[in-house]
Every structure is written in C-alpha cells, then in structure tokens.
Structure 1
Amino acid sequence: MNKKLALVTGANRGIGFEVCKQLLQNGMHVILTSRNEEKGKIAAEKLNDDGKQIEFYKIDLENPATFKMAKEELENAHDRLDILVNNAGIDLEFSPDELVGASALNPDYDDVLQTITINTVRTMQLTNTLMPLLSKSEDARIINVSSSMGQFKSMGTGSIGYRISKAGLNVVTSVFSKELEHTKIKFNSVCPGWVKTDMGGKHAELNVEDGVKTIIWLATKPALKESGRFFRDMQEIEW
C-alpha cells in the first residue's frame, strides 16, 4: 500500500516544519515547501536525518508560477496528493515583541492588500492548482491554517489586514467544502492557537509541538467525516 502523500506550505520553520516532522512520524511521505529554496532544502535535510521520506518543492505564494511547477513535479513523481496543509502566510501588522497590531483607523493599505492577497487569494489559487491531484486520492484532506483573529465570535481590534485575511480563509474553507460535498475531499480550517514561532513571538502561550496537534489530528484521523468546519484543540469552534 502506498504511503499517504502530504504537502505542507511555509514549512521551513515554525508550525509548518513541525507539521512535516509529525506527519513523517506518522509514516507519511512529506513534501516540505517554502518560498526560500535554500532554507527549505536545509529544513528538509534536517528531517531527512532519520531516513524518512521527504522532498522539497519551492512554493512561493507571491509567485503563482511556482504553483504550476509544483503541480508538474507532483504529477511526474506521484500523480496524486492526499493531504494539503495550507500553512504559509504573513502578518505585516503585528509586532510580537510589543504585542501591538496596527490600528484599523490608520492602516498601511499596501500591507493590508498584500496580507489579504497572500493569506487568502493565493492560498485559494494554490489549492485550485493542486485540486486535480487531490481529486485522484481516495481520502483527500485540505487543512487551512487559520486563526481566531479571523473569528467573528471573538473579533478584537488591530491587525485589520490579517483579520480580514483569516476570516476570508475561513470563507474559502466553507464554500469549497460545500462545492466538494459529493467528492472524497474533506476541507477544514484550524486555529493552532498563539504559538511560539517567529510570527507568534516569545510571549505566545503554546510551544509548536502543542500548536500543531489539531492539524495532525485532522490529517491522520481514520475515516474523517468532518468537512467545512473550524477546529481548535481538536474541538469544533464557531466561525
């Protein structure tokens, strides 16, 4: 039986790197991707020390041409994809050291637009680029790494571009899941919590091992039935 094949974006460090590590530990064949080829290859080599099955592909959400190249590599090497973890993203408005996000009353509109483009639009575009390969899987799963900062129930202040981008990413999850309802593809969003990473900063509440638990749960859960849901701590939460 072929190993399940997982692709993780933004995986040269932080949450993405830990997701790759734990998926490998669960016996999957993993494709680690990042926008920086040198850093991505170094990260893959770190995980390859144990002889695990891991590859590096370059995917840069600012460069959609890399989506097509990754798809072609996948087609040639594997001709399918079982799990897509959309982890890559940016936050140009939050200072993790000062715990301050830029005010919505005086934003940098270039930052807002870039954040929405990368976190929402490009993630959707990459997902659609890889959809033909996901459609070939008998048990495909797409996991959007979102945030409670995009959750309407607990909406706060500041970081308006990031909040819009993650709320939009949840819309992507919901709409896609409905359009894929009669397929074998399950599509969910995850809030990992506030995690100690370069983006989350040193004041964050969770270490990265705990932050990825729900992502790994959705990726490995036998006979996954849930789709179009938003999860945190392996429990469904409100949008």
Structure 2
Amino acid sequence: MFTSSINEFGDLCGSVRRCVVGWRFGQEEVELQTAKEIFHFGLINVCDLGFKSDVIVYVFVNEKFCKDPPTVTADDFFFSGLNILANTANKVGFNVTLVNVDMLLGLNTLGIFLAHLDFAPYGLDPPHTHPRASEILVVAEGTLLVGLVTSNPNKLFTKVLNKGDVFTFPIGLIHFQFNIGQTNAIAFAGLNSQNPGVITIANAVFGSNPPINPDVLIKAFQVDKNVVDYLQKQF
C-alpha cells in the first residue's frame, strides 16, 4: 500500500493550501489523507513526495481546487453576463451580479473582484461592509448618493455621483449607495479581494440566526422592546 505525510511546499501569496493525497485504482480516485497547513516558500518541493504514476495529488489554494495546467482553458478566465440587468423587484429596489472566484475560477489568488450593481428608482444598496476588501465604484448610468462612515467617532462622508464619477470605500467601513434619481441606475464596483465578503448591517443585527437576544438590542439601540420586535420581524 501507500503511506505518506503532508509535505510543506511553497506559496508566494501566503495563502492557505490544502494537499489531498490519493491512490488511483484504474479510473477511480480514492482520497486517503487531507491536511491544512500554512507553508513557507521553498522548504520542500512536491516532487519530494516521491510519487509514482499511480498516485495523485490535489492542491487547493484558498479552498479552491487548482486545475492541472494542461486542462486549463480560456473559459477559466472568462465570464459573460454583466450586460444583463439584475431583477430589482424587491424591498430595497437593488440587486447585484457578482464576478467572484466562484463565478470565475481564474480569479483564484489574483486578489480582485467585480460587481455589477443595478438600482431601481430610489433603490438602495443598504449599509454594509466588506471585511476583506476595499472598494472602488464607478457610476455607469443614473445618479447615486453614496456614503461611508468611519470608525469611532463615526464621521459620515457623502457625495452625489453622476455618470462617470468614481468613489472609493476603505476596507471594513460601513457604506451605502442610494439611487436618488427617477430612472434606473447602474454602477460597477471593483474590490481588491477575490472573495471580499459582505455584512449587511440591518440583516446581521436584526436578522441573525438564531436571533440576538432582544435585551441586547434594546440596550444597544436605546429603544423599546416593541421596536426591536418589529425590526426583527422585518428580517
């Protein structure tokens, strides 16, 4: 049979890799061992594992599977659909089309992300944060009121943006975009992470699962219990 330990191998990006070692039985691939480590560059090469042709190694970077180079195609670097308007028939009149590493495999390790934002008249991208990325936004159509709030003491910066205007939102800060026009608005946002994450403030506070204890929210927001109960029912 086959025995091996997970070896250290390089990662210039400093990201987390997972090595999956398997044994090939004809056309079947059987996973034998997995591990997750943060490795230092240049210690031990994958070749040092001494594998023969009947052993396979899968490498995951940032929890995404790395394709064997000969199997990579142009489609791994391609996405189509940002010309299609998203459905904004919802409570906030807003929707977004994401181009992240789940939608475009070639983004893995590149540290970039793209989004197409669609706003109905008076539609809102509610206050939210991106815990892993800063954002740069450009308006393609319409007029947006955008804003961000700093960390304590919570200074608000706002600006009205028209077609062609650009605004940036630093990593982790609460921000929003609001269509103040009577027509649809479109914007594009770029972020410096392949998976920036998003925390929508109202949903996180009043729509968490399980719900936050109402007594916590009553004291935090200095409101009556009936107000907290009402807000939690909205999410």
How high is the TM-score relative to the length of structure 2? 0.22
- Where is the helix percentage greater, Structure 1 or Structure 2? 1
TM-score with structure 1 length normalisation? 0.22
Larger radius of gyration: 2
Structure with the bigger RCO (C-alpha within 8 Å, sep 6+) is: 1
Higher strand share: 2
